[in-house]
Copies of this chain bind each other. A is one copy, B any other.
């Protein structure tokens, strides 16, 4: 092992955990996309006009295509796709149950804000996976026109009734809070994924003292310990990193943080 490149030797040690974490990430993403498909298809059915039904149905179909690609990638890697998705059914269903939109506008904001922040999160995790997995995850995170469609609808609604801005901003905050809570629960239950996250936080924090505890835990190869390190604080830090894009999305809709 070369002493000249401590970063590369760190990466090599992480490899097996990263591979298991990749299967977890693909399973999480595949189920997230399948559920996003169900939600968007349901929203499309309730949309007020034939044109908006069609536009949301297009978004739903794009999510299905993402699901299918992730599912097929899992099969290609020799994993059982359904088994890889299974651990994430409860936390993702819980997130959706706790953030049931009460209006069509709320469902639009949820699709945009919720899937947006989740997408940024998945994207960060994917950077830690093998190049093929990274490429597939990145492709499935393209927003395919959703941003423009949702932002235009929400802005128009707020222009008509300015009181909506405050209510929908509150709704966006609740969506993020619930997402944070479910992400913590996932990190606690899935040590491989948590280890992958921990290694990502470690690289990001390189040279900072805050990364030292995580790094030590992973170097021991003790995944359970890494998982404990990947607790509230780590997930919160990760979410904090995602706020820039989140704020941009809120602003595009005319909402405040």
Contact = CB atoms under 8 A, between A and B. Distances in A.
B58 A68 contact: yes
A64 B37 CA distance: 12
Contact of A54 (B34, B42, B49): B34
Contacts of A60: 41, 64
Contacts of A53: 34
Contact of A61 (B31, B51, B61, B81): B61
A252 interface: no
Contact of A57 (B37, B50, B86): B37
A51 B65 CA distance: 16
Given A60-B64, A67-B57, A85 B38 contact: no
* A-B complex: 7 closest residue pairs judged by Cβ atoms: A41-B41, A61-B64, A50-B82, A38-B45, A51-B82, A61-B61, A57-B64
Contacts of A51: 82
A73 interface: no
Nearest to A49: B82
Interface of A: 31, 34, 37-38, 41-42, 44-45, 49-51, 53-54, 57-58, 60-61, 64-65, 67-68, 71, 81-82, 85-86, 89
Contacts of A49: 82
Nearest to A53: B34
Nearest to A71: B54
A89 to B, nearest CB: 7
A155 B50 CA distance: 37
25 contacts: A31-B50, A34-B50, A34-B53, A34-B54, A34-B57, A37-B41, A37-B57, A38-B41, A38-B44, A41-B41, A41-B42, A41-B60, A42-B45, A49-B82, A50-B85, A50-B86, A50-B89, A51-B82, A57-B64, A58-B64, A58-B68, A60-B64, A61-B61, A61-B65, A61-B68
Contacts of A86: 50
